Amino acid sequence: MSIGERLPSPEEVVGRQMLFFGRSDVQNQFFSIAFCLILAWLISRRFWTYLTAKFPEVTEFYWNDQRLSLRQYFAALLNHLDFPIMSLGLLNLSQIIFASQNWKEGLLFVAIRLLWVYLIYQFFLVSLYAIFPLNIIQKFHYRLFAPLLSIFIIGTIINLYNNVSQIAQIPLFNLFNTAISLRIIFSLVGGLYFWIVIVGLIENLSLDFIRLQPNLDAGSAEASLLLIRYFLITLGIVLILGYIGVNATAIAAITGGLSVGIGFGLQQVVSNFVSGILLLFEGVLKPGDIISIEGQISEVKSLGIRATTVKVLTDNSEKIIPNQTFFTSDITTYTGSDRLVNCSITIGVGYDSCSQQVMDILLKIAQEHPQVLQDPSPSAFLIEFGESTLNFELKFWLDDVNLRTRVISDINCQILNRFSQLNIEIPFPQRDIHIYSQSNRSLTSDS
């Protein structure tokens, strides 16, 4: 905007736009565009319904972690491009008709240009489906790509009869002696939203790449990426506030209000926030760790600044644990320095058994189990001379605490079967119980 040029008022902007849409030639073009788009959509849906019935194994997409096969990619390409291609064909036909009748066709030119942008956008989207997991691209399609395309289309339409740059500078109200315009509001709200979404997209793609690397610790990498994510979000907030020109007085007022709120009711929130920062910096807890909390074995699913999500392994439920809990309670971790889990089985046999034979059997059973680690190797000991048994202990290692119950059960069954085959007795307590009635005692006394 040149110096001295007057900014239009909001009422003038709305009036101009209504005047533009009220013109008969504009309405005719809008009706023609709407008719072409609706007709193209109906034809494309009918065509896709026919394809799904004819080739269901190719046209069915499951939005999970899988990637598209080559045949599914071409089907997805057809699904995403048929509507814009048909729309372009119908709009070009409408343009020819308008030109033959000497009607104005400027809006049709704009619609065709926007549809070309939409066609390129759809091709770009399907290309991402072929490279990255479907669920990630599907999520960010609606959070990032579609909003950006919508803003571009709306801005193009408004700019047909208004200057978007002038509209963005119209002051709406004053806050802390600063004029708040549409540009400031959009930069603060939209800029922060898109910045957070883009950082999340980078984090998701980085995690997907890390999981494909077998030599990298995915849990540690995820914790590091989470820390980087919050740093970038904080940096983005500072940069956006600096861009819109928030002055020091406003920041001081906001900070003062927050300090009062923290002093009265946000102590727990701040405590959890600080605890989350410490957990991420110290690295004592990371996604994938197996811990015992509140007497339940759980797996850490995700770390957050305020709380940590864990999955209880016994019933597959999930719990949200405030971060300060990890600093105020005793937490047992099975994956702190490594993921090795020590298991122990105690069993007693009769005194007539050969102790060396029993230990050899126990060791062989443990070594033959596919889940038992050979390094550290299993070991067996004669640990106690019991009242009626020789007590042995079998110790072995696993690399996954989730396998513990099942492996112990397998080995116990193998021990029972092997001892039965070799006639090795597993004694059990036996007692003789003598019952005396009152009449028996009296007869014994009289005799």
Q: Which of 211-215, 326-330, 349-353, 355-359 has the lowest mean pLDDT?
A: 211-215
Tell me the C-alpha to C-alpha distance, in Å, between residue 180 and each of 156, 173, 183: 23, 5, 8
pLDDT at 251 (0 to 100): 60
* % of residues, the chain, pLDDT over 90: 18
Residues 6+ apart with CB under 8 A from 261: none
Q: Between 386 and 172, where is the model more confident?
A: 386
Predicted confidence band of residue 183 (pLDDT cuts 50, 70, 90) = confident
Say if strands 390-398 and 296-303 run parallel, antiparallel, or are unpaired.
unpaired
- Cβ(236)–Cβ(199) below 8 Å: yes
Length, in residues, of the chain: 447
Highest mean pLDDT among 217-221, 271-275, 331-335, 346-350: 346-350
Fold of the domain spanning 284-333: SH3 type barrels. (2.30.30)
User: Which residues in 233-360 belong to E strands, given as ranges?
Assistant: 290-293, 296-303, 307-312, 318-322, 332-333, 341-349
The radius of gyration computed from the CA coordinates of the chain, to the nearest angstrom, equals 36
Q: Distance (Å, rounded) from C-alpha 196 to C-alpha 198?
A: 6
- Whole-number Å distance between alpha carbons of 342 and 334: 10
Please state which CATH number belongs to domain 341-422: 3.30.70.100
418 and 365 Cβ atoms separated by less than 8 Å:
yes
pLDDT score for 445 = 47
Cβ count within 10 A of residue 114: 19
pLDDT band for position 87 (50/70/90)?
very high
Predicted confidence (pLDDT) at residue 7 exceeds the cutoff of 90: no
Report residue 250's pLDDT band, with 50, 70 and 90 as the boundaries.
low
For residue 346, what are its two tokens?
Answer: 């105690």
Residue whose C-alpha is closest to residue 389's, from 334, 349, 440: 349
> Rounded mean pLDDT of the chain?
79
Q: What percent of the chain has pLDDT over 70?
A: 78
Distance of CA 444 to the CA centre of its chain: 82
CA proximity to 120, closest of 160, 141, 149, 99: 149
The one-letter code for the residue type at 352 is D
The answer, yes or no, to whether residue 237 has pLDDT greater than 90, is no
pLDDT of residue 35: 93
Range in 25-34, 208-217, 236-245 with the lowest mean pLDDT: 208-217
- Give the residue extent of every domain in the chain: 10-244, 284-333, 341-422
Q: Which of 2-16, 81-95, 96-110, 353-367 is the least confident region?
A: 2-16
DSSP states of 253-275 = HHHHHHHHHHHHH-HHHHHHHHH
Q: Which of 317-326, 334-343, 413-422 has the highest mean pLDDT?
A: 413-422
**Do the domains 341-422 and 284-333 match in fold?**
no
